[in-house]
Structure 1
Amino acid sequence: MTVIRVTHLVDDTTAGGVMRVISHMMTTPDLTREADHSLLEVKRNRLCIGRVEADVIVSHLAISWRLLPLLAALRVMNPTARLVHVEHSYTKCFTALNVRRKRRFGALLKLSYALFHDVVAVSAAQGKWLRDEGFVRPAALHVIPSCVGLSAFRELAPPEGAVKTIGAIGRLEPQKGFDILIKAFRELSDPGIALHIYGQGAEETLLRDLAAGDHRIHFKGFASDPVAAMADLDAVVMSSRWEAYGLVAIETLAAGRRLLVSNVDGLTDHLPHGAALVDGAGIKPWQSALEELFAAPPRPRGPRHAHNYESHFSDCWKSLFLSPVIASQ
């Protein structure tokens, strides 16, 4: 059997969701049996990376006008390789909140995606947005939800009793909406509850100021062991302003914890698997949702969430690697 050579292009190797997904792709047996994976770091502002010795080149790069010449050169210099782009970043809510010149941004996405044979959306909601906006040809668009290994999360003991300790996990940046979460939590009067915040980022000082004086709120720093962090929590809350998918969500559900999510982008993909929706932006909807969460009776003992995220992820990528290439525009 011929093993496919797959090279993953990245422009940021710092610890985070994208690198965890790539690491899973490069090490999970279901995919290493089909392909020999390698990683190539692309320095930002480069105009060309030359010829890549691979049958499939998977871009995990952040699309930008500066990147466009490199993508065009990649296509020209690798005419026999299958080019795949995974859109980890851009979503409908990101665009609404962060992009001022939306038509220009849309042109960037269409031009960039047209250089690839395939474009992978990491959630159904993101895929719908890409399709509805006409950014990607329907035949080139694939929805493959991001994934990491979840077996250690499934092995965690389920929480006992009512919810007392909730967690927020992610970069301390405006995207995650931790400012709204802290303000909503502080409206609750119960002295026996706690909010644990895991992560680092530019907003840490601001968030600590918002939490000042409330000894129920604890900043835990970067969670080097996400399984151990999850073990200390009864529930997880994701108050993001935009989110392509949210690995924390599948980790939470695999661990049998309750999950609250904002009504944005890929977070809505988790509703069929047990997440609860906080419908509405701002402090009041989150305050109400937290009150309901802490007041909820303990869950009865029963079988753990059964969805096999890993198998679906591997099956989708194997299908993409092995399917015929459809000529791009």
Structure 2
Amino acid sequence: MRALSIVHVVFSSRIAGGEHHCIDLANAQAALGHVVHVVGPAGSAVRHALDPRVTFHGLRLPVLRGARVRRLACQLGADIVHGHLGPACKAVAMATHRVRVGTLHVGYKAHHHARMDALVCVNSAQIDHLKEFGGVHRVIHNWAPERNAGACATAERSASLRAELGLDAQALVIGCVGRLHAAKGMHTLIQAFQRHAPEDAHLVLIGEGPQRAELESLRGDDPRVHLLGFRWNVDELLGEMDLYVSSSLEEQFPLAILEAMRAGLPIVATATLGAREMLDPAQSAIVPVDDATAMGQAMASALGRRRHDRRPIAYDMARYDRSTAVQATLGLYRDALERRGAAARDGVSLNVEDVRG
């Protein structure tokens, strides 16, 4: 199998779940000997987390991005142009002379994904929404990327979580990792915590985003609620926690839940598509979306058990193997390349309009 020339596109300045997946996939592909590029905003934090073997291309202005991605893909001789998150997939769709791939980090949207040649579904439920999609598609589960201070050359190592917050070893710590955005449901999480958590418990929110001011206001003067901002050393922080809560209103396949599973933490999660596919109800509590009472009661129950038993939970992580997922993604690329090559030999166009016809 020859090495591929792969261009990943992600138009995010900050790093959240989809960006982490793009970074780790690009790094893994480069380590296997493929020629890998990543396109993003010039000031993106993504570039600092990439392996030195991956070349970053920064776009200084957010204008005509589709045309610029298409031109750059041609200049680089790309076999594959892979979009991550909606705006990137919309731009990748214009690279009509390359195999265009999109990952459904936030679900299928025709105006972002219909013109792709191939789609990566991150959960099996997404297949039901692809009835009009004419390209290649495959379910490839995400994996939990390594997120520690050593993963980024510019990251600084910090003190332990409990030392930083002045907590003793017996304090109960609840964690949530994600962008501070209304879709992540952290406002409901704070309400659930303040109403139902024991007095000696602490809630730690890791991430940054536009909802910070609202969440700080909701926290008020409660010294038990901590907003740490973005941190690289998520794995280390999770290792000091007692419970993980995923409070999202909608999630396709949250990497943070995988990280909490890898850390062996008990988990309370809202009943999103991703959580329902990833978690065994016998090991975790799955509660209704945006229900502070149900979430708070589940948290209190989990913490009550945690006081007496802090042994890690043994989750089955076999389905979320990094090497397997990377190889499956490369297999999808090759299937899409073969399909395009066969169509070219037969003189058939693979534009979406022809496929639908």
Shorter-chain TM-score bucket reads 0.7 to 0.9
Q: Which of these residues, 311, 329, 346, is aligned with residue 317 of structure 1? A: 329
User: What's the offset of the Cα at 1:267?
Assistant: 2.2
Tell me whether 1:228 sits opposite 2:236 in the alignment. yes
Tell me whether 1:295 sits opposite 2:304 in the alignment. yes
RMSD over aligned CA atoms reads 3.0
**In the alignment, which residue of structure 2 is the partner of 1:88?**
105
Contact 1:260 1:276 in 2 (8 A): yes
User: 2:313, 2:224 → 1: CA distance?
Assistant: 32
2:330 match: secondary structure = helix
User: What's the offset of the Cα at 1:272?
Assistant: 3.5
C-alpha distance 201-141 of structure 1, shift in aligned 2 (>3 A): same
User: What's the offset of the Cα at 1:147?
Assistant: 2.7
2:196 match: secondary structure = coil
User: 1:54, 1:25 → 2: CA distance?
Assistant: 16
C-alpha distance 302-183 of structure 1, shift in aligned 2 (>3 A): closer
Contact 1:162 1:296 in 2 (8 A): no
1:48 match: secondary structure = helix
User: 2:208, 2:332 → 1: CA distance?
Assistant: 35
Q: Which of these residues, 136, 144, 153, is aligned with residue 133 of structure 2? A: 136
Structure 1 letter corresponding to 2:136: A
Structure with more relative contact order (C-alpha pairs < 8 Å, separation 6 or more): 1
Q: Which of these residues, 183, 186, 193, is aligned with residue 178 of structure 1? A: 186
User: What's the offset of the Cα at 1:326?
Assistant: 3.4
Within a 5 Å distance, the mapping from 1:1-329 to structure 2 comes to: 1-28=1-28, 32-33=31-32, 35-41=34-40, 44-46=62-64, 47-49=66-68, 50-51=70-71, 52=73, 53-63=77-87, 70-71=91-92, 73-75=94-96, 78=97, 81-90=98-107, 109-110=109-110, 112-125=112-125, 127-131=126-130, 134-137=131-134, 140-150=136-146, 164-188=172-196, 190-272=198-280, 274-296=283-305, 298-299=308-309, 301=311, 304-308=314-318, 309=320, 310-323=322-335, 325-326=338-339, 328=350, 329=355
C-alpha distance 205-36 of structure 1, shift in aligned 2 (>3 A): same
User: What's the offset of the Cα at 1:150?
Assistant: 4.5
User: 2:216, 2:25 → 1: CA distance?
Assistant: 36
User: 1:259, 1:163 → 2: CA distance?
Assistant: 18
Structure 2 letter corresponding to 1:210: L
Structure 1 letter corresponding to 2:145: G
Contact 1:8 1:60 in 2 (8 A): yes
Unaligned runs of 5+ in 2: 41-58, 149-168, 341-349
User: What TM-score do the two structures reach when normalised by structure 1?
Assistant: 0.78
C-alpha distance 300-213 of structure 1, shift in aligned 2 (>3 A): closer
Structure 1 letter corresponding to 2:67: C
User: 1:302, 1:231 → 2: CA distance?
Assistant: 10
User: 2:310, 2:232 → 1: CA distance?
Assistant: 31
C-alpha distance 38-115 of structure 1, shift in aligned 2 (>3 A): same
Query: 1:264-307: per-residue Cα shift (whole Å, max 9, x none)?
Result: 12222221494431135321111221121112254485784342
1:296 match: secondary structure = helix
1:185 match: secondary structure = helix
Structure 2 letter corresponding to 1:271: L
Structure 2 letter corresponding to 1:169: V
Query: 1:31-53: per-residue Cα shift (whole Å, max 9, x none)?
Result: 63262211123653415124411
Structure 2 letter corresponding to 1:123: N
Query: 1:135-177: per-residue Cα shift (whole Å, max 9, x none)?
Result: 524x62222222343497xxxxxxxx99921111111110111
User: What's the offset of the Cα at 1:240?
Assistant: 0.4
User: 2:273, 2:170 → 1: CA distance?
Assistant: 29
User: What TM-score do the two structures reach when normalised by structure 2?
Assistant: 0.72
User: What's the offset of the Cα at 1:190?
Assistant: 2.1
C-alpha distance 82-305 of structure 1, shift in aligned 2 (>3 A): same
C-alpha distance 130-163 of structure 1, shift in aligned 2 (>3 A): farther
Identity, in percent, stands at: 20
Q: Which runs of 4+ in 1 moved over 6 A?
A: none
Unaligned runs of 5+ in 1: 92-108, 153-160
C-alpha distance 282-82 of structure 1, shift in aligned 2 (>3 A): same
C-alpha distance 140-272 of structure 1, shift in aligned 2 (>3 A): farther
2:279 match: secondary structure = helix
Aligned residue pairs total 293
User: 2:27, 2:294 → 1: CA distance?
Assistant: 41
User: What's the offset of the Cα at 1:236?
Assistant: 0.8
1:243 match: secondary structure = coil
1:321 match: secondary structure = helix
C-alpha distance 118-259 of structure 1, shift in aligned 2 (>3 A): same
